């Protein structure tokens, strides 16, 4: 009986080792990195809170890659999820700041010139 259970345990060990050393999902890495790029393109470097969130996301991505190399893909995947969320928050903060800036500008007056008129009924 003990030998049979030992064989079962030995049969499962390679599967457990494979799970522990599974590669980091490339789509998760790409998603997190894409969210960081999007935040930067929108101008997160101009908004202090957004800039901080981008820095956190970048640090989390690097840490996730290191953890994956060490075999801790579960924690690495969790970090990538947080990195994506932080980068998306940075993007939202940057867009919010752009919207505020646009709303605080006075509306521009129409350039001087002739006022366009609607065609008359007889011209139709």
Q: 15-63: per-residue pLDDT in tens?
A: 555 455 578 889 999 999 999 999 999 999 999 999 999 999 999 999 9
Provide the pLDDT for residue 25.
84
| Sequence-distant (≥ 6) Cβ neighbours of residue 52 within 8 angstroms | 90
Coil, strand or helix at 110: coil
Which tens digits make up the pLDDT trace of 61-115?
Answer: 999 999 999 999 999 999 999 999 999 999 999 999 999 999 998 777 666 666 6
Q: What is the dihedral of CA 89, 95, 98, 103, to 10 degrees?
A: -110
At how many degrees (to 10) do helices 73-104 and 26-42 cross?
20
């Amino acid at each position: 009986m003990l030998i049979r259970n030992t064989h079962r345990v030995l049969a499962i060990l390679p599967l457990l080792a494979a799970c522990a050393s599974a590669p980091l999902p490339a789509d998760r890495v790409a998603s997190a990195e894409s969210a960081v790029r999007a935040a930067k393109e929108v101008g997160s470097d101009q908004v202090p809170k957004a800039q901080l969130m981008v820095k956190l996301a970048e640090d989390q991505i690097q840490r996730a890659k290191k953890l994956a190399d060490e075999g801790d893909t579960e924690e690495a995947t969790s970090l990538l999820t947080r990195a994506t969320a932080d980068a998306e928050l940075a993007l939202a903060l940057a867009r919010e700041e752009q919207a505020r800036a646009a709303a605080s500008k006075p509306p521009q007056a129409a350039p001087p010139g002739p006022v366009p008129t609607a065609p008359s009924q007889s011209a139709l």
